Chain A
Amino acid sequence: MTVAQPETAKYVYGVVRSEGASPPRGAGIDDVPVGVVAHGSVAALTSDVPVDFLEAGREELLAHSRVLEEAMEGAVVLPMRFGVVLPDEETIHERLLAPYAEALEAQLQEMDGKVEVTIKGIHDEEAILREVIAESREIAKLREAIQGKPEAATYYERIRLGELIAEALDDKRAAAAPQIIDRLVPFAVDVRVGDPVHERMAVNASFLVERARLGEFDQAVDRLGVELAGRIQLKYTGPLPPHSFVELGAGV
């Protein structure tokens, strides 16, 4: 990889407005400077990568994220998903900027002044298990039946117990998620609810928030955090570029 490659391809980070577009100060993948490829009113943020750039890890993911984060400081940016590499500048025009110009333009307009914030909520293990035991006779009885007996002798009962708990947690999630989301939606423009990526995850949602209302949104999260303390731990990530709210419509 350190051998100088005469041939390069173009990694694409995101799309910005051409007018006043300036590349982020920081470098991109492999410390290569980020440039702007403009086409009419829209432009791509790109940097050169080796033609054989096929595998990536932590450094590259961080670079992608860092470039977008810097870009969004000064202007609206539509983030690309990680890993989009086009052969050359020509192809960026032909396959991205020209055919999708209208869709990109419309989304730049729509996303201007807005950021994404993700809110994840994880049930506190002890608190939620106590709740589940208290609310289900079946779980409580099964637990008592198993208590003190050797693990090997109660293998299937344990699995059954765990399965019942997993189901109960599903119900808990179904109940908790809308309550959390409903409290934050009034401060957001849009919301996308994702799948749980953890067994005790109560909510995993992305909110599109106007920068001007970020303070209000944050205060709402804070109030919720206090109310849920000890039961659900909230985790706030952002402000981020609007990953969850952009898409390429049909090209021309």
Chain B
Amino acid sequence: MATQQQLPYRGGSGYVARSSSSGLYDVLELILDKGLVIDVFVRVSLIGIEILTIDARIVIASVDTYLRFAEAVNRLDLMQTETQGLPEMMEDITEGGASKKTKGILQGASEALFGEDEEDEEEKEKEPATKRRRSSSATAKRRRASGGSSSGSSQRRSKSS
């Protein structure tokens, strides 16, 4: 523990999902909401971005969310003893951690922002850093999974659909 003082953080235990600033999705809030600003000169608008920063808070207290919670607790007894094991958690972490499991607002916002041409772009742009590719492919994976493919994550997805 004491030997790695100066090393950059690598999520050594495997229990913490980590992303650098290159993961746009994770820094969106900061870039758009925080930082120095001279109000009269903020001219650039972003279509669809408000969904993440504003609507998310409203959605939390919505009927849709309530119904989803109700459905989720009803489902619980069906998998009474089948609690989430370590391998599955590890998969979650490598695929982008908590965000993957949470269907709804955040995913919706990211799709609204990144648009449907995400996968095309991914192929077109070979150059960008691997970190970015990783975040693109995770999004693509989520979309595919929600479409009902047979990837590892579709099992989880199907529980909530």
B: number of interface residues (CB 8 Å): 79
A159 to B45, CA, bound (A): 36
Which chain A residue shows the least CB distance to B125? A59
User: CB distance A83 to B45 under 8 Å?
Assistant: yes
Pick the residue among A82, A127, A235 that contacts B16 (CB under 8 A): A235
CB-CB under 8 A for A219 and B43, given A80-B35, A229-B15: no
Q: How far is the CB of A142 from chain B (nearest CB, A)?
A: 9
Q: Which of A95, A143, A224, A246 contacts B35 (CB 8 A)?
A: A246
Q: What is the minimal beta-carbon distance from A252 to any residue of chain B, in angstroms?
A: 14
Closest to A155 in B: B67
Contacts of B99 in A (CB 8 A): 122, 235
* B93 and chain A: residue at smallest CB distance: A233
Residue B150 lies at the interface, judged by CB distance under 8 Å to chain A: no
Contact B73 A236 (CB under 8 A): no
Of A17-25, A33-41, A161-169, the stretch lying at the interface with chain B is A161-169
**Minimum C-beta distance from A201 to chain B (A):** 9
CA distance A197 to B131 in the complex (A): 23
Query: What mask results when residues 203 to 228 of chain A are scored 1 for a CB within 8 Å of chain B, else 0?
Result: 00010000000111011011111101
Q: B137 within 8 Å of A by Cβ?
A: no
User: Quick check: is A176 within 8 A (CB to CB) of the other chain?
Assistant: no
Question: What A residues does B6 contact at CB under 8 A?
Answer: 215
Is the CB–CB distance between A199 and B13 below 8 Å? no
CA distance A66 to B132 in the complex (A): 11
A234 touching B102 in the complex, CB below 8 Å, given contacts A129-B73, A221-B9: no
For A147, the closest partner residue in chain B by CB is B74
A47 within 8 A of B: no
Given A221-B16, A225-B15, decide whether A61 and B97 contact each other with a Cβ distance below 8 A.
Answer: no
A161 engages B20 (CB within 8 Å): no
Measured CB to CB, the nearest residue on chain A to B101 is: A125
The interface bits of chain B over 83-97 (1 if a CB of A lies within 8 angstroms of the residue's CB, else 0) are 110000100110001
Note all chain A residues with C-beta closer than 8 A to B7.
Answer: 215
Bin the interface of chain A by size: 35 or more
Pairwise interchain contact A62-B24, C-beta atoms closer than 8 A: yes
Knowing A139-B73, A162-B67, A197-B57 touch, does A237 contact B26 (C-beta < 8 A)?
A: yes
In contact, B26 and A235 (Cβ under 8 angstroms): yes
The 6 A-B pairs with the shortest beta carbon distances in the complex, nearest first, are A162-B66, A218-B9, A122-B98, A83-B44, A225-B16, A81-B35
Cross-chain pairs A/B with CB under 8 angstroms, 25 sampled: A15-B36, A55-B44, A64-B31, A65-B22, A79-B31, A82-B31, A84-B42, A125-B72, A129-B72, A158-B67, A161-B66, A165-B73, A166-B61, A197-B57, A206-B30, A214-B8, A219-B1, A226-B15, A235-B16, A236-B9, A236-B17, A236-B19, A237-B27, A243-B31, A246-B36
A86-B41, A126-B76, A236-B17 known; 20 new pairs, CB 8 Å cut-off, are: A58-B113, A62-B22, A64-B31, A79-B31, A82-B32, A83-B46, A84-B36, A122-B98, A125-B101, A129-B69, A139-B73, A159-B70, A161-B69, A161-B70, A199-B59, A215-B4, A225-B15, A230-B89, A236-B18, A248-B38
